[in-house]
Amino acid sequence: MLSLTRLESHLVPLEAECLRPDTLASLDNTTISHLTVWHGKTKAEVGDFFKVQGSASDGEILLRGDCSRVKLAGSGMTAGTLRVDGPIGMHTGANMRGGLIRIDGNAGDWLGAEMHGGMIVVNGNAGHHTGAAYRGAQRGMRGGEIIITGSTGDELGSTLRRGLIVVGGDTGAFPGINLLAGTIVILGKSGVRPGAAMRRGSLLVPHHKPELLPTFQSAGPLDSVFPALYFQYLEKLAKRLNLNQTLALKPWPQLTRYAGDNVTLGKGEILCPA
Amino acid sequence: MELNQEDNRSMLSIRGIEVEDTYAEAFPLACARVIVTAENPRLVLSAAQAATGNASSVIGCDCEAGIDGLLAPNETPDGRPGTSLLFFGYSRPSLELSLVSRIGQGILPCPTTAVYNGLPIDPAKCLQVGGKIRFFGDGWQISKLLDNRRYWRIPVMDGEFVVEEVFGAGKGVAGGNLIIQGETRDITLQAAEKAAEAMGAVEGVILPFAHGIVRAGSKVGSRYPKLKASTNQAFCPSLRGRVKSELHPGAAVAYELVVDGLDLAGVEQSMRVGMDAAAVPGVVRISAGNYGGKLGPFLIHLKDLLPGGA
């Protein structure tokens, strides 16, 4: 495992899209130390900001220290494991296509934005626009899974096309806005206007009845094994990822299906208590 | 195990009951395992029986099918009571057609049911099942990808029917069999029932015929050119004296137990426990049907299934 320890924290963000296990796996530590990062608008090297130890040849990287201003870590990665012990900055795992990012700490905005595959696990909170589409993009996350034990900010899973996002806590406003397909599970409280303009897809809020937009219509209690499949999967996942203590899974009550958003196609659904 | 030379054959025995030194001739078929769940075990069984009906033999049915076993809620994907069904067909395309038709007509209409794949999936050899049944949703169906498996949610009148998109297909073994010959019909039927129960309890096998017992054992071909199979006259007591009989001189009745399995080991184990269960007083010979190598490549010798057998 390659260990990268942040030497000191700066207010100026560090853009470090080179920090991805699949590309570092074939490099020696000297080369890694000389890889380019951007400190604000200044070109710099990894070694200027991180103490580089161990070896990346096994496809595993550990980021330590205060990385809350480190942007784009693991972005575009296709394989391997990136572990973060502490906070991490914006755009982590953006456009990710495979592998695992495990963050034991809080993550910044745009976590897993437009990701295509792989899994991101945050044992903490995440910022705004988690799993979202970048501004102007027609599709957001297109595959993979994001599991967050804590809460998230606004516009969770905006324009989600495919994949699963699970939030153990609460969300900010507009979760699942413009949802195209895929599934978002919010185990805490949903922010205002969930599923606004969603076309298809599912938003599960099993323990909270959010205030719904008037363009959603009740279809009555949902009689389907589909929520049970998700619950069982989450139980299995929590066990596998050792999140039993932090991902609050308690039995889901009977859920009511609200179909919408009827300002668009209307084939989406919000499943929550009546 | 002992040998004697009665009736000019090499004979073995189990607890004093004669076992003919012969073999069952089994053959490969494409197979699938289907998990059916529902709100309660009664609905599960109704759906299972509907889906596996009229599927005794590929000679005259589109597939061979049966109930492998019941599943407790903690053994099913959705935590409800369930059952495991096995289906066998000549080829993957024909098996796929059978599954689509039988799940679509037998299980989908049954209240509260859901259907899942029960075999590992090889993308090159999988069967599109839910992927075809989904069209019943007429555009209202919803797909969900969970844990790399795609499910279809089809709106129906009591909620939703959930079915997995693709099913794994394996290479199963069909046509394992035992022929139990006894002094009277009652004794032989009781022995056959006991054997069928023991054989069916082996995981990964089914006895596709009604009650697990066949009284109309068949041979390949007939004097009528269009008929692929016909009565096995060598085992019909009423034809003694008219044909070369394969029956024990003391046998008044013979019953055949046919077994299909996901693999050869399961079929062998099923036959092994079946022989053991059938070896009761009044049974005069345990034999097996073969067709001189015309039917299939798996030759399951009864002597190898006896305690201490090879």
Chain A residues 195-214 within an 8 A CB cutoff of chain B: 200, 202
User: Residue A171: inside a domain, yes or no?
Assistant: yes
How many other CB atoms sit within 10 Å of the CB of residue A105? 17
Q: How far apart are CA A118 and CA B118, in angstroms?
A: 25
Comparing alpha-carbon positions, the chain A residue that sits nearest to B80 is: A225
Over residues A226-262, the pLDDT tens digits come to: 999 999 999 999 999 988 778 878 899 999 999 989 9
Q: How far is A224 from chain B (nearest CA, A)?
A: 5
Interface test with A, best of B142, B148, B149 (most A CBs within 10 A): B142
Interface test with B, best of A179, A224, A249 (most B CBs within 10 A): A224
Quote the Cα angle for A258-A259-A265, to 5°.
160
Chain A residues 86-125 within an 8 A CB cutoff of chain B: none
CATH 3.30.70.520 domain residues, chain B: 6-22+172-305, 30-168
Q: How far apart are CA B77 and CA B43, in angstroms?
A: 17
Which alpha helices (H) appear in A44-126, and where do they start and end?
46-49
Q: How far apart are CA B54 and CA A189, in angstroms?
A: 52
User: Residue A57: inside a domain, yes or no?
Assistant: no
Q: Name every chain B residue with its beta carbon within 8 A of the beta carbon of A220.
A: none
Look at residue B228 in the predicted model and tell me its pLDDT: 86
User: Residue A139: inside a domain, yes or no?
Assistant: yes
Instruction: Assess contact for A114 and A133: CB atoms under 8 A.
Output: yes
Q: How far apart are CA B170 and CA B263, in angstroms?
A: 9
Helix (H) or strand (E) holding A183: strand A183-186
User: Residue A169: inside a domain, yes or no?
Assistant: yes
Q: What is the mean pLDDT of residues B272-298?
A: 90
Q: What is the mean pLDDT of residues B198-226?
A: 93
Residue B310 has pLDDT above 90, yes or no: no
pTM: 0.90
Q: How far is B77 from chain A (nearest CA, A)?
A: 7
Closest by alpha carbon to B160, among B140, B146, B139? B140
As given in the structure block, the two tokens for residue A228 are 């049970």
Q: How far is B99 from chain A (nearest CA, A)?
A: 21
Residue B3 has pLDDT above 50, yes or no: no
Q: How far apart are CA A25 and CA B45, in angstroms?
A: 54
Q: What is the mean pLDDT of residues A184-199?
A: 96
Residue B7 has pLDDT above 60, yes or no: no
Look at residue B309 in the predicted model and tell me its pLDDT: 61
Q: Name every chain B residue with its beta carbon within 8 A of the beta carbon of A183.
A: 144, 146
**CA distance readout (Å), A178 to A68, B113, B142, B178:** 29, 32, 17, 63
CATH 3.30.70.520 fits B6-22+172-305, yes or no: yes
Q: How far apart are CA A270 and CA B214, in angstroms?
A: 53
Q: What is the mean pLDDT of residues A197-216?
A: 95
- Domain of residue A231 covers 106-272
Over residues A4-45, the pLDDT tens digits come to: 999 887 889 999 999 999 999 999 999 999 999 999 999 999
Over residues B29-76, the pLDDT tens digits come to: 999 999 999 999 999 999 999 999 999 998 889 999 999 999 999 999
Structural domain tally of chain A?
1
Length of chain A counted residue by residue: 274
Closest by alpha carbon to A112, among A14, A100, A270? A100
Determine if the peptide bond prior to A261 is cis (ω within 30°): yes
Look at residue B9 in the predicted model and tell me its pLDDT: 54
Over residues A74-105, the pLDDT tens digits come to: 999 999 999 999 999 999 999 999 999 999 99
Q: What is the mean pLDDT of residues B269-273?
A: 97
Interface test with A, best of B39, B147, B158, B161 (most A CBs within 10 A): B147
Over residues B152-208, the pLDDT tens digits come to: 999 999 999 999 999 999 999 999 999 999 999 999 999 999 999 999 999 999 999
Instruction: Assess contact for A163 and A144: CB atoms under 8 A.
Output: yes
Instruction: Assess contact for B275 and B14: CB atoms under 8 A.
Output: yes
Tell if the CB–CB gap between A229 and B77 is shorter than 8 Å.
yes
Please count the CA atoms within 13 angstroms of the CA of B106 that sit on its side-chain side: 23
Q: How far apart are CA A20 and CA A34, in angstroms?
A: 15
Question: Edge-to-edge strands of the sheet including A36-39?
Answer: A42-45, A36-39, A14-15, A70-71
Query: Which class is B30-168 in CATH?
Result: alpha beta
Please count the CA atoms within 13 angstroms of the CA of A192 that sit on its side-chain side: 0
Mean pLDDT, rounded, of chain B? 92
**CA distance readout (Å), A158 to A141, A183, A249, B300:** 8, 11, 24, 61
As given in the structure block, the two tokens for residue B274 are 């079946």
**CA distance readout (Å), A33 to A2, A16, A36, A50, A77:** 12, 12, 9, 8, 19
Tell if the CB–CB gap between A229 and B146 is shorter than 8 Å.
yes
Local confidence band at B1 (pLDDT 50, 70, 90 cut-offs)? very low
